[in-house]
Every structure is written in C-alpha cells, then in structure tokens.
Amino acid sequence: MSGHGFHVHGPHDHELEHAAHGNDDFASRIAVMTAIMATVGALFGYEGGATQNSAAMYKNDSAIKKTEASNQWNFYQSKSNKQNLAELAMALPGVDVEKYRSEVARYKAEKEEIKKKAEELEVESQQWEHESEAALHQHHRWAQAMTAVQIAISLAAITLLTKKKWLQYASYGTAGIGVALAGLAWFHI
C-alpha cells in the first residue's frame, strides 16, 4: 500500500475481507451462540465462586462455634474438679462441712448452666456445618454447569472448523445440560 491512494491487497487480505463481509449464516449462528454460551458460562462461574466462598465461611463459623463449645466443656471440667475437691474436703475431720456443701451445690448449679451453653454451641456448630455442606454441594453443581458450557463452547469452535451440523447440535445439547445443571444448583438440588 502506498501513500498516494493506490492500494494493493494481498491474497489473504482478500479472503479475510470476504469472510468478514460474507453472508455465512452458519458461522454467524455459531458465533452468536458461542458468545451467549460464554456469557452464561461467566455467570455460572461467578455463582460457583460465590457458593464456594459461602461454604468456606460457613465452615469457619462452624469451627469457631466448636472452639467455643470446647472452651465451655473445659470450663465445665474445671467446675467438676472444684466440686470434687469440695466433696473430698467435706470428708476431712474438723472442716466446716456446711461451707463445702454450699460450694458443692453452687458448682453443680454452675455446671448445669455451662453444660447448657456448651450443648447450644455444639448445635450451632452442627448447623453451620450443615450450611457449609449444602453450599459446597451447590458449588459443585455450578462447577458442573460451567464445565458443560465450556465443553459446549469447545464443540462450537470445532463446529466452525469442520462445518458439521451434528457437532452444532452436540454443542447446543451440551450447553442445555449445563443449563439444566445450573437449574439444579439454583434450586439447591
């Protein structure tokens, strides 16, 4: 090409321009479908990442509640030890038995409160664990949906290269499977 208005096309330039301005409906349909599948796949990928993060956060909350429950059980054990020492002291000669009897009653009451709190924390931990498992299952569904859409996009690319109609239908079918899997994820199935 020169700067004086004279323009010479190379052989591949002519082919590229012809392809860009041609009326290849087959390629156009595949290109549009591929763009739609890529967009849908991106949405599925986002949902998969979001549910994976939720699962991790729920698992973390479960671990925190487990630790708090463990702390309560340790506190419970400490009160049991003090109660045992008070009971032992009541058997010693020359001690104020009533003082130790009231301590034993106090430790028993305190232990019941601590036990109740520890059991509540264990239940909360299990609830968070269940939430984590449910979110992880949902994440797997989104990941399966995303994988199916990626395979469909790959099949669409092969379809463009080979111009095989059956590959076009295989691509659409695989994308449909991805959408079905996304539906399962959406409804937590």
How large is the average pLDDT for residues 124-147?
98
Q: What is the amino acid identity at position 58?
A: Y
DSSP helix/strand/coil, 94: coil
pTM of the shown model? 0.76
Q: Given this model, what pLDDT does residue 115 score?
A: 97
The band of 96, judged by pLDDT with boundaries at 50, 70 and 90, is very high
* Angstrom distance (rounded) from CA 161 to CA 31: 12
Q: Which two tokens stand for residue 75?
A: 């506190």
What's the pLDDT at 24?
78
| 48-62 mean pLDDT | 97
Asked if 171 and 159 count as a contact pair (C-beta separation under 8 A), the reply is yes
Give the Å distances, CA to CA, from 17 to 8, 12, 23, 43.
Answer: 13, 9, 12, 34
Residue 4 has pLDDT above 80, yes or no: no
- % of the chain residues with pLDDT over 90: 85
Region 103-127: what's the mean pLDDT? Answer: 97
If 0-12 CB within 10 Å is exposed, 13-18 middle and 19+ buried, where does residue 101 land? middle
Average pLDDT over residues 170-182: 97
Residue 127, both tokens: 């609830």
H or E segment and range at residue 66: helix 25-90
Separation of first and last alpha carbons in the chain: 62
Q: In this model, does residue 6 exceed pLDDT 80?
A: no
The answer to which of 2-11, 88-97, 110-119, 135-144 has the lowest mean pLDDT is: 2-11
Q: What is the mean pLDDT of residues 130-154?
A: 97
Q: Residue 8 carries which DSSP code? A: -
Q: Could you tell me if residue 9 is left (phi over 0), alpha (psi between -120 and 50 degrees) or otherwise beta?
A: beta
